[in-house]
Structure formats: C-alpha cells, structure tokens
Structure 1
Amino acid sequence: MAGYSSHSSTLFLLLLVVVSGWGGLSKCEAFGTFGFDVHHRFSDPVKGILAVDELPEKGSVNYYAVMAHRDRLIRGRRLASLEQQTPLTALTFLNGNDTYRIEVLGFLHYANVSVGTPALSFLVALDTGSDLFWLPCDCTSCVHGLKSSTGQIDFNIYSTNTSSTASKVPCNNTLCARQTQCPSPNSNCPYQVRYLSNGTSSTGILVEDLLHLTSEDKQSKAVNAPITFGCGQVQTGSFLDGAAPNGLFGLGMADISVPSMLSKAGLASNSFSMCFGHDGIGRISFGDKGSANQSETPFNLRQTHPAYNVSISQISVGGNVADLEFSAIFDSGTSFTYLNDPAYTLISESFNTLALEERHSSDSGLPFEYCYDLSPNNKSFKYPIVSLTMKGGEKFLVNDPVLVISMDSGDIYCLGVVKSEDVNIIGQNFMTGYRIVFDREKMVLGWKASDCFSRDEFNSLPVSPPKSKAFPPAISVNPEATAIPTPGNGSPQLNPLTLALVIFLFPVLIFS
C-alpha cells in the first residue's frame, strides 16, 4: 500500500504534519493560529521603504514566479576546511537561542544577536550556505527600518565609532582575503560579497568586536567572544528589497564564519545545531554535537567548494523506493527545496502519480510545477509520504513537503520542490521538525526529530531566556508590529498576501 500523509487545509489556521504508522498513512490536523504581526513586504505599509513598488501585484500569479527567482539569487561558494577542536560547553546568543521563521523577511530563520560595547541587537538571517557574518555599518546604502500600520520599525546600524571594543582589521590579518588590493599592510581590509541577483552585494571593511553569547548550562555564564565580521557600508540589490535587511549570519565552513572562530578560540567545539520547529520557532546552539541516538551521514568535502553537502542513495515516494545517487547541500538560507534532474523528475512525477486530487492548471505562473486543487471547505487531504535514504543507510523522512496556497479560485496545495538548473539544495521546508547538527569535527550531518523545546532532546536555554541589556532592533520601537509567535503546533497556510521571499543565499565569490 502506498504511503500517504493527510493534510488539513482551512483559511486562517496553521498546519502540522504528524506522522502516523497506521495503514502507511500520515495525518495532519488543524490547530489554532499562532501568528506574527509582521507586515508582508508587498503590503502597502512597506511600499516605498524596501523598493517593492516595481514588484508584481500582490495576489497575482507573477508573485510566485518572483519568489522562485529570489531563491535562485546567489550561487556558488568558496569554503575552507577547519581544524578539529576539543568539545566544550555549548553557547548561544545572549538574547536567547530562539530562532524565528519570518514570512516578511523571506521565510528564513532569524535571531537577535548583540554586538559591541554598549551592546546593540540586530535581527540577522541565519545562513548555513554562506560564511561571512556582516551587519549594516556606517552605511551609505542599507535598510534603516520598516513601516507598519502602527508606525516606523527601526533597525539598529552598527558603527565602529560608537563601540568602545571595536577595531578595524588591517590588511595583514590572516582573515583578509583581499590583501592584493590593499595599498599597505596596515590599511583597512576591504571585503565584497557578490550575489547572482541583479547586482546584489554587500561591500565594506572587516572589523573586530565582541559578540555577546551565553553558555547553555545551568549557570548561563556570559561569554564575550572577539569575532571578525563585515562592516557592511554598502548593500545593493535584494538586501535593499527585504532579504536579510539587518544583517546576514554566515554559518559556513570557512575560517571567517563565526562557528569557525569560536572553535579556533577554544570557546566552543567545532559543531553547531539548528532546530526547525513546525510552528516556525527554532533553536541554535554553538558547540552542540547532538545526541548518541541521532541519525548521521558524512559530508562530501570538495577541494574547491567544501560545504554541508551529503550523498543520497534512495528516494521513497508513497512507499515506492527508487535507487538514485546524488548529492545535495543542507542550506538554511533556502526556504524551499531545489533539485535538478534526475532527482527532481523522479520525486515530482512519482508524487504526481500517487496524488489523489486533480492537478492544478500549469498556466498559473506558480514556481511550483506540481500543485493540486482542493475542493471548497476541504478540511483534510492525503498526499504521498516522501523520504530520503542517506549515505550509510539512515532514513530522512520529509515531514513538511507540501504547502497550501490560497488562490482566487480556491485553495491548492503544492509539492514544495522547485526544479534547479544546477545545484541540489535541501531547504528549510524539508528540515522542518528536525534538530540538524552540523558537526565539522566528525564531518557528519546529524538529525533527530524534535519539537525544539523538549529539554531531553535539545541542549538549550529556558524558553524564556534572561533579558539582555542589548537594545533590540525592532520590538523596542513597536512591539505589536514585530510580535513573535508563541510556541505551538502548525505551519503557516500560505496565500498571496502572506507568502514572502523565497531566498537562496549563496555567495558567488566571497571577498572577490
């Protein structure tokens, strides 16, 4: 019997996929709404702030085509291998280890990080697909805030002139990759990260300052970590258009990434974890090596572009197993999953063969090719279960492969996979419901089912962490405009008024 998942679809409700072993079926039930009052980037209050006036009319079919284009923003990366370090106490951000998936800012996971003296907080996107951590800094081109129906939401802007612990990185520093472009060894080290999206880039100089962390033990000891990051003086393209407007936190393998610097300084072991909750709330922990009973698969380390790349040997759709070997990168900077052929065709056509609903017309302009019409007032539907077999034989069940979209003609659901022209990406939708461990000491990817809040599953701070003295970037100005969702079950039902960017944060060339 083919394996199916059952999905509940109703306006204004959130969705949760719950796997059930009965009859090979999985079931999804509808729960109460857990929303955040953050304004959509295409909404009227935001227009004029993030240069969105030229974008498609909200609710139009072109809207989704734009989102798919955003997910192809940034391709390629240059990463480096790292030394192994002794495991230490896990660390997280001083403001807490909670991460939040924010629709208005691309359906990526964000966290509040505090930097400098006195500490300022920044709402940064967490991206395992890039290396450099950069903040808007003494900038001539950056986003200073958002408008909402209740007022202005201001972002903090970092400045080396206002932090007493800041220093500029000279060109003779080992982390300066553009030394050949420096007029002298003591000159400020320049950086430029360029992205494949209509001139999208971040440009500035490297600086060093304190990143304020806390240990994840009972003492919750404060840790001030000296780190090198980008003082982003000029942002262009998509960074002015809603993608990581207040900074990007690179979590890649290169020496310039924060996990690498924490490990080299002996502050945390060379591993970290991210948890992706069904409700959009997650966790991040530096130095976390996971649990003994987690599933694991080795990284494929390439000499030119080492990344969080793994090998997949089998695909199962609805219980039908097919042998297919391909590699894919686990990337928190991508909202949905991108696959090229033959993996894309195998999954999508197998899914289509087993889908019970009528396929939605292909001329809708949606970036998702395989969508299905839901009858009016349909409270639940079944779809084929998707799972991947990783190198080594461990199974990776995809908890959340579909998304519900409200169209003018009625609700539809789509397989959340987009055809890629080159690289295979396992995006956030496939990682939902898991604690993912990026262990760079053992060079393995680990995963374990988690709700991101159970203490026996996750080495974490209390759900309500101590208040930080750092000045939050948005909630201090207008708490209601940036309300954070409360812990609960479900994932958002998407519609043209709430679905935001589909970001694909891959740098083309770091420090080019």
Structure 2
Amino acid sequence: MAHSTQLYRNRLLALAAIVFLAVRTDASSGIGFDLHHRFSPVVRQWAEKRAAAHAPGSSWLPEEEAPRQGSLEYHSALSRHDRALFARRRGLANNADGQMSTYTFADGNATSSSHLDGYLHYAEVEVGTPSTKFLVALDTGSDLFWVPCECKQCAATVNTTYSPRQSSTSKTVSCDNPLCDRPDECAAAMANSTSSSCPYEVDYVSANTGSSGVLVQDVLHLKRENSKQQSVQAPVVLGCGQVQTGDFLNGAAAGGLMGLGMDKVSVPSVLATSGVVASDSFSMCFSSDGVGRINFGDAGSPGQAQTPLFVPGNSRSTYYNISVTAISVDNSKPTPVEFAVVVDSGSSYTYLSDPAYTLLTTSLNSRVSDPKADYSGQLFEYCYSVSPGQTNVTVPEVRLTTKGGAVFPVPWPIVPVYGSIDGGPDQPIGYCLGVIKNDNDVDTIGQNFMTGLKVVFDRSRSVLGWEKFDCYKDVKIQDSVSPNTIPWSSDTASGSPDNAPWSPDFVPFAPLTPLPRIPSMSSSSSSAFGGLSLMLLLVLLATSMAG
C-alpha cells in the first residue's frame, strides 16, 4: 500500500492512548488480564515493537505531547474526557463462563486505545475460516460486533477486511432469523433487491458517525483457559461493515468494533445463549498500585456485599445502575440521601449532584487535616497541599449505603496532584477529593471510587457485588477501620511519579488533547444495537507514566 509507513505512523498516533492487557491464565479465576496505563514502560516497549514491525523508523508518542501524570493539565484532560462521554451512557455487560468454560481471545488481549475518539480498549481478534485478524474496539455500551467487510466506504487505514464468501464457516443471517430485529429495513431491502440478508445500521450522534451493512454468522476464535489451552470456534453474529461514516473514517475503530452489551445480538449474549459460556457475569479488580484484572465468568464469592441492579423507568438501559440510600465518612452515622448512580469503571472520576455532592464533600473536608490548596485551574472544589518531606496522607474512608443495606466502601477517594517547585522536577505537591459536581442527568461512580475493590457485574442475577481485594494474590482483604494512611513522598529519586512510593493510581486516562469528536448515544430508532461506548468494560488503572 502506498504511504504504508506514514499511514501506520498516523494510525499509531491516532491510537496513542495505549492500554496493555497481559493475559493471565488462571483456571480458578476465569479469564485474567493485567491492565497497564498506556504510557507505562511495558506499553511503550510493546508499542515500539509493533511500530518497528509495521513501519521501521516510526516512533512512539513524543513525551512532550503527554501531560505529566498528576499535573493539573492531566486532571483537566481527564475531566474533559469524562464530560464528553456523558453525552451517552453505556453498560458494562459481558459474556462469562463457568468452571468448565472460561475463554480468552485466541491471540490474547493486548489492547490499544485512542484519545481522539474516546475508545479505550482494542483487542486483536480472529474471525472466520481461515481466520482473519482484526484490531477491534471493545465497546461496553453497544451490542453489535462489526468489522470492515466488502468495503464500499471504509477508513483509509484499513488494511484487512472480512469476506463472508472466503470463510467456509460463514452463514447468512436472513430477515426471518430471530436475531434480525429489522422488519422495516428488511422489507425495504427485499423490495429493492433479491437479497434476503438482514441489514444493519448503527448510527451515532457524533458527526454523523455510523456503520452499516449486513449481518452474518461466523466463528470467533477463542482459547479455553485451562492447562491445555484448547482452541474453540465460538459461533457469533457480526456485521459485515460495508459503509462507515464520520469518525470511523478518521481512525476511530478502523478495524471494527465489538459491542459487549446486553442485546441478543452481542457477542456475550450469543456465547451465553449458545452454551459456549456458562455464567453470565464478570468481575474487575482494581489494585492500589495501578494494576488491575478483569475476569469473565466470575460471579464473586458467597460473602461479597451486593446490591440490585435496576433499569430506570421503561428504558432499555444497559447501564449498571444502583441505588444509594445513605452516605457516611469515617465511622460517622450514615446520613440518609437517596440517589441513583451508574457504576462506570470507564469514568475517571466520580460525579455527583446535590444534595449528595455537598453532603459528601463537606463531610470529607471537615475531616482532612492538611491545609487547603488553591491550584490555578483546578477542577475539584476541595484540594489540599502536602509539605516537603511529608511521608503519608490520612484520608477518611467514604461509605455508600446501597439499596438492601450493603455498604460500598471507598478507601481512597482522592486524586494526587503533581507539579514542579522552583523549576525542579515534578513531585507530589498535593491532592484533591476526586468528586466533581455533576452537571449532567446521571450521577456516576467512577474508577477512582473503585480502587482497592473487586467489583462483580452479575448479569444473570442482576446484582452488583464487591469486596476489598488483593488482585495479585486473588484473595479478599479484611475490612479495616478508616481513615486510611497512604504512604506519600515528595522526595522522589528522579522527580518522576514512576518512583513515588504511592503512585497516583486513581487517574486512569489522560487524553492528550481535547476531544472534539465524541461518539454519542445512538440517535435514532433505526439503531437497535445501542450507543457507541466511549469506555471499555475494562478499567484503565494508571500505572507510572513516563516522565
């Protein structure tokens, strides 16, 4: 392909927000992935290797383009990202498996992400027979799995396309197939041609972004997580994406998109319905050092706390909504306050509206002993400074009482702030309460409120479960009395957050620029497959960001 090196370099930069998921195969705990921040050394090495293989001489993202982790610019970028994604909501739905059927993609789960379009996770998947590989965006807020196919209008960066005709396992999804939920479009298509294939069209609000084509059935290549690592050809429904528009022509999900929602056409739903997987649940574990895990098929433990998931009103919401009935800080008596929140591991911070916001922040503020700080351009109402040489920070624990009485603990509800003193290297200079006053319709519990927990999304029982957890040892951590004393140091060896004793692990995603083009909720009734998610079901936990 002409200009292939430049195209790959452009694509690499377009996918600059990299997250690396190293597969951890543990038969006892399902499909396990390690999550690393896109600027961690592991990810940088991975990206450089891929760049060298595809485009010799191309380089990784220039460090000067990235805001320093923990800096005010960093948090500002995160907030812009969050507010952009609130244009649409997504649920964290996934397939699952049981003791006899846990799976991962045949090629593992190394993923890349793009700050330009808000997709955080990509995975290399194999489809068809013989198999064809695609780097697809993983989208928890939509349902259809589609790849570029028989292209009439696809992104210029697409160098692999799927052809149903060349796959011996491909089957047409006809208009009378129960998986085809497009009666009007089918009637129109059949009137204009002899084809009986089920058409699909997914439209998104953002800049006329969409994908359309026809549905087909084929196999997705997986591996069973056991000592033998058997290969499995799992039947799935996918869209033969013939026409892409808007952001899909500008680098967003150029290789396709895998929806992981709750609709019957989604990959998790098809796998569960066909019996390939046994348990319709998954968990995400958020370690305090910025490394996390996601396990499909993990329904949690008998002793975990849990609360019902609910769908508001008569909507077809696929979000993970829970009800909060009271808030307490430290060991104070819970104060009644009722509100609904979306548990969203893809949101960097937590967003609450009044009266919950004021109740929580004022209660926290009254218990923090460090001096108040006024950082120029700060996003958070409550920030505090630390003294040079300060070795720890005492943070009150937040407890959210949920419907049914279970308490959702928030061990470390803060975000660190890094900055330069007298022109020196970056170092921790303070911290803020990681709660932002909500100016949107839906309140959100973000990733920073889930650090230190394993959160279980159990779709089969419609419950959200959680417990304090050691993601490395795969064991529950005994609850402790708050407040928490967090190791802290402003005297790092190199002046980089990489070497801080306590790394800022609550700041998962730092877009390098404002987000001008954000996929949004599906705009019309013609989209039966839901909105395009900005964030993956996979949580981005921040590890060290190259300084």
- TM-score normalised over the length of structure 2: 0.63
Structure 2 counterpart of 1:273? 282
Q: CA deviation at 1:127?
A: 4.2
Q: 1:439 aligns with which of 455, 458, 477?
A: 458
1:330-369: CA deviation from partner (whole Å, max 9, x where unpaired) = 33443433333333333233333434445554761x5544
Task: Letter of the 2:174 partner, please give it.
Answer: P
CA 1:129/1:39 → structure 2, altered by over 3 Å: closer, same or farther?
same
Structure 1 counterpart of 2:297? 287
Structure 2 counterpart of 1:70? 84
Q: 1:176 aligns with which of 165, 177, 180?
A: 180
What number of residue pairs does the alignment pair up? 427
Q: CA deviation at 1:137?
A: 4.4
1:355-412: CA deviation from partner (whole Å, max 9, x where unpaired) = 4445554761x55444444455655433332232222222222245333344567745
User: Within the alignment, does 1:36 sit opposite 2:43 as a pair?
Assistant: yes
Checking the alignment, whether the CA contact within 8 Å between 1:193 and 1:507 is kept in structure 2 is: no
User: Within the alignment, does 1:401 sit opposite 2:408 as a pair?
Assistant: no
Checking the alignment, whether the CA contact within 8 Å between 2:290 and 2:506 is kept in structure 1 is: no
> In 2, Cα distance between the equivalents of 1:202 and 1:376?
54
CA 1:259/1:493 → structure 2, altered by over 3 Å: closer, same or farther?
closer
> In 1, Cα distance between the equivalents of 2:411 and 2:379?
21
Structure 2 counterpart of 1:507? 521
> In 2, Cα distance between the equivalents of 1:173 and 1:363?
59
User: Within the alignment, does 1:304 sit opposite 2:312 as a pair?
Assistant: no
**Unaligned 5+ residue runs, structure 2?**
1-39, 49-57, 67-71, 477-497, 528-547
Which is further off, 207-216 or 284-293? 284-293
Q: 2:268 aligns with which of 241, 253, 259?
A: 259
Q: CA deviation at 1:441?
A: 2.3
> In 2, Cα distance between the equivalents of 1:46 and 1:271?
38
Which is further off, 246-255 or 368-377? 368-377
CA 1:438/1:317 → structure 2, altered by over 3 Å: closer, same or farther?
same
Checking the alignment, whether the CA contact within 8 Å between 1:269 and 1:286 is kept in structure 2 is: no
User: Within the alignment, does 1:119 sit opposite 2:131 as a pair?
Assistant: yes
Task: Letter of the 2:336 partner, please give it.
Answer: D
Q: CA deviation at 1:264?
A: 1.0
> In 1, Cα distance between the equivalents of 2:502 and 2:145?
31
Checking the alignment, whether the CA contact within 8 Å between 1:169 and 1:188 is kept in structure 2 is: yes
Aligned residue for 2:238, secondary structure, equals: strand
Q: 2:100 aligns with which of 79, 89, 96?
A: 89
Aligned residue for 2:144, secondary structure, equals: coil
1:96-153: CA deviation from partner (whole Å, max 9, x where unpaired) = 77676968585945544333333344444544433333344455344738xxxxxxxx
Task: Letter of the 2:183 partner, please give it.
Answer: Q
Taking the TM superposition and a 5 Å limit, the aligned residue runs for 1:96-495 are 108=120, 110-138=122-150, 140-142=153-155, 144=157, 157-160=161-164, 163-182=167-186, 183-184=188-189, 186-235=195-244, 246-278=255-287, 279-302=289-312, 303-307=314-318, 308-320=320-332, 321-361=334-374, 364=377, 367-375=379-387, 380-407=392-419, 411-418=429-436, 419-454=438-473, 492=505
- TM-score normalised over the length of structure 1: 0.67
Structure 2 counterpart of 1:18? none
The structure carrying a bigger helix percent of its residues is: 2
Checking the alignment, whether the CA contact within 8 Å between 2:138 and 2:258 is kept in structure 1 is: yes
Aligned residue for 1:507, secondary structure, equals: coil
Aligned residue for 1:429, secondary structure, equals: helix
Q: CA deviation at 1:270?
A: 4.4
Checking the alignment, whether the CA contact within 8 Å between 1:133 and 1:249 is kept in structure 2 is: yes
Task: Letter of the 1:305 partner, please give it.
Answer: R
Task: Letter of the 2:306 partner, please give it.
Answer: E
Checking the alignment, whether the CA contact within 8 Å between 1:129 and 1:506 is kept in structure 2 is: no
Aligned residue for 1:508, secondary structure, equals: coil
Q: Which structure has the larger Rg? A: 2
Q: CA deviation at 1:292?
A: 2.0
CA 1:369/1:332 → structure 2, altered by over 3 Å: closer, same or farther?
same
1:191-224: CA deviation from partner (whole Å, max 9, x where unpaired) = 3334444444444433322122233344433321
> In 1, Cα distance between the equivalents of 2:368 and 2:112?
29
Aligned residue for 1:344, secondary structure, equals: helix
1:228-286: CA deviation from partner (whole Å, max 9, x where unpaired) = 13344455556567765654433322212222111211122341213233355444444
> In 2, Cα distance between the equivalents of 1:235 and 1:376?
54
> In 1, Cα distance between the equivalents of 2:412 and 2:182?
42
Task: Letter of the 2:85 partner, please give it.
Answer: D
**Unaligned 5+ residue runs, structure 1?**
1-32, 53-57, 146-154, 458-484
Structure showing greater relative contact order (alpha-carbon pairs closer than 8 Å, 6 or more residues apart): 1
CA 1:345/1:100 → structure 2, altered by over 3 Å: closer, same or farther?
farther
1:159-215: CA deviation from partner (whole Å, max 9, x where unpaired) = 545544334433333223333023245444333334444444444433322122233
> In 1, Cα distance between the equivalents of 2:363 and 2:206?
32
Which is further off, 155-164 or 382-391? 155-164
